[in-house]
Amino acid sequence: MSRPRSAGLKQRIETVEEAYEFMLAYAAQGLSGNEEGGSVTAIREQLERADGALDGLADRLEDLVEKKKLKPAAPYRSFIRVIARDAGDARAAIGLVLAQPAISSQLIDNVNASIHLRALLTDLFIIDESLKQKT
């Protein structure tokens, strides 16, 4: 179940953070991914929600910079390009995981360690904190 592209920035960031926290717990469970229900079903839902939250994120940020008339805009736009790149890379990893018939704890552990996901989380913390200082 994906979040709509119009979802608020705060909600999008929270969705990605929640998915990451769930992924950490899932990785620790030692699951093969072939188990029925429970965490195995929930990991797929969390990944789908995170993917939905990342879809159009850069566009939402661009709109926010314009709407709030943030100045100077150039540093925001440059960093939004970084976020777009990192979100695209993280979405590619998430998409690959979602394409698997079984999602093991080991696979999720490797995604958690991925530089793409970690960079994206850091990007989101930076932009969120920067925007807080401008409001």
Which of 47, 43, 128, 21 has its CA nearest to residue 83? 128
Token reading at 3? 């979040």
Is residue 1 domain-resident?
no
Which of 88, 81, 96 has its CA nearest to residue 117? 88
The pLDDT value recorded for residue 4 is 39
Domain containing 31: what range? 9-133
CB-based contacts of 35, cutoff 8 Å, min separation 6:
none
Is residue 76 domain-resident?
yes
Crossing angle between the packed helical segments 73-98 and 38-54, to the nearest 10 degrees = 150
Q: What percent of the chain has pLDDT over 90?
A: 79
Q: What is the DSSP letter of 3?
A: P
As a whole number of angstroms, the distance between CA 5 and CA 114 comes to: 25
State yes or no: pLDDT of 131 exceeds 90: no
State yes or no: pLDDT of 44 exceeds 80: yes
Q: What percent of the chain has pLDDT over 70?
A: 93
What's the chain's average pLDDT? Answer: 91
Token reading at 100? 């698997």
Is residue 95 domain-resident?
yes
The pLDDT value recorded for residue 134 is 67
Which of 44, 23, 46 has its CA nearest to residue 34? 44
Domain count, the chain: 1
More confident residue, 71 or 2: 71
CATH number for 56: 1.20.120
Crossing angle between the packed helical segments 115-133 and 105-113, to the nearest 10 degrees = 50
Cα first-last separation, the chain: 31
